[in-house]
Amino acid sequence: MISDNAKKQIDSWIAKYPQGKQSSAVMEALKVVQAENNNQLNHDLIQAVADYLDMPGIAAAEVATFYENYNHKPVGKHIIRFCHNISCMLTGADDLISHLETKLGVKTGEVTKDGLISVKKVECLGACVGAPMFQIGDQYYENLTTDKVDEIVDGLK
């Protein structure tokens, strides 16, 4: 279930922790496995990671469902992680999210028909100072407005 290549990467993470603490590598391991499986995790993959790290499946699932960077449903090539936590909410995130949904013709959690974009609502990304904001890949986009959202999204290929 986990490819040799993925195992190699996971092993290098395990090596960073003291012996017997291999389960500390769970976040990275889940990331590695997700990257190899269409950017998506499922029950069996989570269990496989847990088995590899010798930890209970549910403990890996707790991590995998807590953090927004793990996907449990099909996602597009680009994932727009829209913050809807307190600062962003107060500065209009909800309206922007509706705008984005209408523009793309999808609801949050869904993928556009062409498979290019999906939208996810996430909790505070620590960029309140630039609220409202979202993240695509490793990039933060702050102080969003409808125009700015349109421009960024239209630029995605």
**Would you tell me which residues interact with other proteins (CB under 8 A)?**
43, 46-47, 56-59, 61-62, 65-67, 123
Q: Which is nearer to other proteins, 11 or 62 (CB)?
A: 62
The minimum distance between CB 104 and other proteins, in angstroms, equals 23
Q: Which is nearer to ligand FES, 24 or 85 (CB)?
A: 85
Q: Which is nearer to other proteins, 86 or 156 (CB)?
A: 86
According to the binding rule CB under 6 A, does residue 42 interact with ligand FES?
no
61 binds, among ligand FES, other proteins, none (CB under 5 to 8 A by kind): other proteins
Interacting positions 55-114 with ligand FES (CB under 6 A): 83, 85-88
Neighbours of 12 (CB within 10 A): 12
> Taking the CA of residue 10 as centre, how many other CA atoms within 13 Å lie in the half-sphere pointing to its CB?
27
The minimum distance between CB 139 and ligand FES, in angstroms, equals 14
Interface with ligand FES (CB under 6 A), residue total 11
- Per CB under 6 A, residues contacting ligand FES are 83, 85-88, 124-125, 127-128, 131, 133
